[in-house]
Structure formats: C-alpha cells, structure tokens
Structure 1
Amino acid sequence: MKTSEIKELTDKEIIEKIQLETEALVRLKMNHAVSPLDNPTKIKVARRNIARLKTVLSQRELKQN
C-alpha cells in the first residue's frame, strides 16, 4: 500500500487497516515458525505497511494539535 493511498483514507479506516495488518503479520510469523513460507518477504512488507499507516496517523494527530 502506497503512502498516497493511505492519505486518502479516514482516521477510522487507517486504524482498522492497522489492526488487520497486525493480525496478518502475526499469522505470517506463526506460519513461518511452523514451516518456512514460500515468500518470506511478505513479513517485511507487512511490517512496513503497518509503519506507513502509523506514520500517517501520527502526522494527522500532530497537525490537529
């Protein structure tokens, strides 16, 4: 997910996306611990998506204050 796409979302949608991405990351890590994933870079992509979402959310909070 690109930053430009994230900026178009509302705060509520961003929070929901963070929760979904976090759950997906946990599942990926669990699956990878049990048996190696076909594409382990999915874990890195999920972490970076969560970071992007949190960054945009914190930037919006700073602008409001």
Structure 2
Amino acid sequence: MKIAEIRELATNELAERVQTEIANYNQMVLNHAISPLENPMQIAKLRRTIARMKGELRRRELNK
C-alpha cells in the first residue's frame, strides 16, 4: 500500500486497518516458521506497510 492510499483513509478506518495488518503479519510469521513461504520478502513488505500506517496515524495525532 502506497503512502498516497494511506493518506486517503479516514483515521478510524486507518486504525482498524493497522490492527488487521498486524494480525496478518503475526499469522504470516507463524506460518513461515512452520513451513517456509514461497516469497519471504512478503513479510518485510507487510512490516514496512504497517510502519507507514502507524507513521501516518502519529502524524495525524500530532497535527490535532
């Protein structure tokens, strides 16, 4: 997800999306520990997306 797409989301929708992405990330890491993923770079990509979302939430919080 690109930063432009993240900025278009409403704050409450973004917060919910962060929670679901974190759950997906944890599940992906667990699955990778049991049997390796085809593309382990998906984990890093998802981690970066979560960081972008959290950064945008923090930016909005500070701008209030």
TM bin, normalised by shorter chain, reads over 0.9
Which contiguous aligned blocks of 4+ residues in structure 1 show a shift greater than 3 angstroms?
Answer: none
* Structure 2 residue matching 1:16: 3-state secondary structure: helix
Structure 2 distance, partners of 1:35, 1:63, is 43
- 1:62 CA drift (Å): 0.5
Give 2:14's aligned amino acid: I
Q: For structure 1, which runs of at least 5 residues remain unmatched after alignment?
A: none
Identity of aligned residues (%): 45
* Structure 1 residue matching 2:36: 3-state secondary structure: coil
- The two structures, once aligned, show a CA RMSD in angstroms of 0.5
Q: For structure 2, which runs of at least 5 residues remain unmatched after alignment?
A: none
Structure 2 distance, partners of 1:27, 1:14, is 20
**TM-score, normalised to structure 1's length?**
0.95
- 1:44 CA drift (Å): 0.3
> What's the counterpart of residue 18 of structure 2?
18
Give 1:11's aligned amino acid: T
Matched, 1:55 2:61: no
Give 1:25's aligned amino acid: Y
- 1:43 CA drift (Å): 0.4
Give 1:15's aligned amino acid: A
Structure 2 distance, partners of 1:43, 1:37, is 9
> Aligned runs of 1:27-38 on 2, under 5 Å?
27-38=27-38
- 1:9 CA drift (Å): 0.5
